[in-house]
Amino acid sequence: MNGELLTVSQTATYLKLSEKTVRRLISEKRLQASKLGDRSWRIRSCDIDSYVKSNSNGVDLLNIDEPDTCSCQPTVANVPNENESAPRLISLFSGCGGLDCGFKKAGFNIVFANDFDSDAQSVYSLNLGSIDKRDILTVDENDIPDGDILTAGFPCQPFSNAGNRKGVHDSRGMLYKECLRIIQRKMPKVVVFENVKGLLSTKYIDGRNLADVIESDLSEMSGIGYNVVHKLVNASDYGVPQNRQRVLFVGIRKDIGKTFRFPDAQDKTNLTLRHILPVPENVENNVDWVFSPQALDMISYIPEGGSWKDVPYEHLAPRFQRIRDNMKKYHSPNFYRRFSRDEICGTMTASAQPENCGIIHPTEDRRFTVREVARIQTFPDDFKFITDTPKNITAMYKVIGNAVPVNLAYAIATAIMEQVFSEKDLHNRGEQV
């Protein structure tokens, strides 16, 4: 079956079981499965193969007695590298795996991953291994294995300029505290936080800048604390064909005696859209979310490199006409941006709407496909997404837009590996390699 995702019906046919039996196997956790955006079950072919292999060894998974398990028990990500001595990574708010993909490429061994979003879970498990699916608020620190590094891309919506920016007054705006709770117990050598630019201008409940609060919390932790630096970076400085600004916090435990140095910016020569388009026909997930008729009409008037300002007034939707009538009041927005092939693309957002990101293809009247957006986020072409239904196609734009670009993650991970976990560095500190 070679990496396919099967429905319950297809799985039942393949295993020569009833659909009811397959669902029972899933509910009893004897057959691994994930729910997608349409809330239907999908089963990976490799998990079906594991089931078949177990039966071929004389194990009857339909009747075997197993200890009772609770649905809230964690499913721990364990994706070991060939080098079992590689630094162990704890990943929180993992999303679909952009950050983890970059860190794994740099040589880190993912021992735990967690995310609450079902669409992200499905993509993560398809590519990187199993993932803890619980709300982080319910995850006990003792359920998490020890690790050398902890990464977290806690929710950005409370700080994003695209949202209502409630900051810490949004319940999601305090979820970084859950990261601190786990860090306090595990005390990894390195901590990495990633979030949107808006976090830098967000105030904490006591009026202090939130970025300063995060640094202080990490610095003073557990009597040891971390040497913390943060920086606003542009993903295009690290091999990503996208102008995407994100703030990164990197803390190194104080007893290690180091402070992280961000890597130098890289050459941007080959980062224009011309270098990632077109996508070969044999690459999967090259399908798009169709624009509405109204959007398509507007797009037809926008030239390569243009925007909604190129659309004749009479072809603008009424709400856009009102904005055009008073550009000063609305701060001269630049909606419906169609980046040219010779430009670096703008930020890919989770909404994938033309109003707030460069989602329009340079020369064709359509959205970028799921695979094209994935390329802009620097996911490799063999990283799989789920595009079997229209609902899942729209869900993929969300999970890809929320992801950390793989190349950005790889650049930071490589710098951390060299500065903290290199063989020379470990020997200098008298640790085993």
Catalytic residues: 156
Classify the phi-psi angles of 92: left when phi > 0, otherwise alpha if psi is within -120 to 50, otherwise beta: beta
Name the 3-class secondary structure at 246.
strand
Classify the phi-psi angles of 239: left when phi > 0, otherwise alpha if psi is within -120 to 50, otherwise beta: left
Helices vs. strands in the chain: H and E counts, helices first: 13, 9
Give bridge partners of residue 79 from the DSSP assignment.
Answer: 110
* DSSP state letters, 306-357: --GGGS-GGGS-HHHHHHHHTTTTTT----S----TTS-B-PPPSS--TTTS
Residue pair 342/307 in contact by the 8 Å Cβ criterion:
no
Give bridge partners of residue 227 from the DSSP assignment.
Answer: 252
Please provide residue 219's backbone torsions phi and psi, each rounded to the nearest 5 degrees. Answer: -65, -35
Give bridge partners of residue 249 from the DSSP assignment.
Answer: 193, 230
Residue pair 421/371 in contact by the 8 Å Cβ criterion:
no
* CA distance linking residue 331 with residue 267, whole number of Å: 33
Q: Count of residues for the chain?
A: 433
Helix 19-27 / helix 8-15 crossing angle, nearest 10 deg = 110
* CA distance linking residue 359 with residue 55, whole number of Å: 47
* CA distance linking residue 418 with residue 402, whole number of Å: 27
| Token pair of 42 as six digits | 């999908």
